[in-house]
Amino acid sequence: MSKPRVILTRKWPEGAEARAKELFDVVINEDDHKMTVEELKRAMCDADALCPTVSDFQIDSEIFNVENRKCKIVANFGVGYNNIDTDAAKEVGVVVTNTPDVLTDCTADIAMVLLLSVSRRIGEGERLVRSKAWTGWCPTHMLSTKVTGKKLGFIGFGRIAQAVAQKAHFGFGMEVSFYDPYPPSDEIVKKFSAKKFDTLEDVLKDSDYVTLHCPGGGDNINLMNKERFALMKKSAFLINTARGDVVDETALVQALKDKVIAGAGLDVYAKEPVVTEELLNMQNVVLIPHLGSATTETRVAMGLRSLENVEAFFNGKEPGDRVA
């Protein structure tokens, strides 16, 4: 019996690609180019399963409804799946899966990296040293903001947020608060001595740091806008490792210019890989290139998780990470 044909839309880490070759008749994107819409349409006709990423073009109704579609499952390489129109997938009976859990710790690490870096002015300091402009230590040089013991507010309090809370509360003694329309159990709230707010706005008003952990797309597009930045403390910092479209970048630029907030740490952007130009020149912003899950261990695990979903599907089982 022939193996299912699986197309990987981007280059994967070696360990994950090796497993794909063992399990399936796999087509690998050897030069790691971003597949065009036409290539994605052809892939839908050539493959039994497609494994896309968040950096691909939106897999929408045009792609799902391509004539002579063969693809029966789209197994996303990533926990977020706003790159896939799940409603369009359901209409044509294509299963969609994601890869939760395996990237939790590393994404949480990056959130803490951003929080520490922007508050302690690490990016500025490194640029100063590299440019040979540092003239030496003095008592008032590059004064920054203390992290330990401060209030950390979460917008969304799922797995990744809880992993950040673990590091922040028990490692840095930070006070945890959150808003989530689907809150965790009382046991988890008690674990972090967390304050549960009824509105997002209450978190913004209370926090020294606001970290975003909510899905992108839909009603969450531009969730952080001019009005909501205005509710934050002037000394507060925004951290985003969720999705870029959750933040209105034009409003963020203005809030930073007008000193409505103190700074921001961003791993994701509204129009990746394009970054709003004015952000690039701001000293009180730390910008990194979507590194949340970027460790070898995690990226291999994401690939293996995606393949597990495909394998389960073709073995007649319900994929463990089905989202549509």
> What is the domain partition of the chain in residue ranges?
5-100+296-314, 104-287
**How confident is the model at residue 217, as a pLDDT?**
87
Among the listed residues 64, 5, 56, the one whose alpha carbon sits nearest the alpha carbon of residue 32? 56
- Across the beta sheet with 151-155, what order do the strands follow? 195-196, 175-179, 151-155, 209-212, 237-240, 263-266, 285-287
**How confident is the model at residue 31, as a pLDDT?**
97
- Neighbouring residues of 224: CB distance < 8 A, sequence distance ≥ 6: 212, 238, 240, 246, 247, 248, 251, 252
Q: Would you say residue 65 has pLDDT above 90?
A: yes
Among the listed residues 155, 164, 114, the one whose alpha carbon sits nearest the alpha carbon of residue 289? 114
State the catalytic residues: 243, 272, 290
Provide the pLDDT confidence category of residue 273 given band limits of 50, 70 and 90: very high
HSE value, Cβ hemisphere, 13 Å, CA-based, for 323: 21
Indicate if 104-287 has the same CATH topology as 5-100+296-314: yes
For the segment 172-220, what is each residue's pLDDT rounded down to a tens digit? 999 999 999 999 999 999 999 999 999 999 999 999 999 999 998 899 9
Q: Round to whole Å and give the CA distance between 213 and 226.
A: 19
The percentage of residues in the chain with a pLDDT greater than 90, rounded to a whole number, is 98
State the fold for domain 104-287.
Rossmann fold (3.40.50)
102-119: average pLDDT: 98
Q: Would you say residue 1 has pLDDT above 80?
A: no
Mean residue pLDDT of the chain comes to: 97
159-172 vs 104-119: helix axis angle to the nearest 10? Answer: 50
Give the homologous superfamily in CATH for domain 5-100+296-314.
Answer: NAD(P)-binding Rossmann-like Domain (3.40.50.720)
Q: What is the pTM of this model?
A: 0.94
Q: Would you say residue 283 has pLDDT above 80?
A: yes
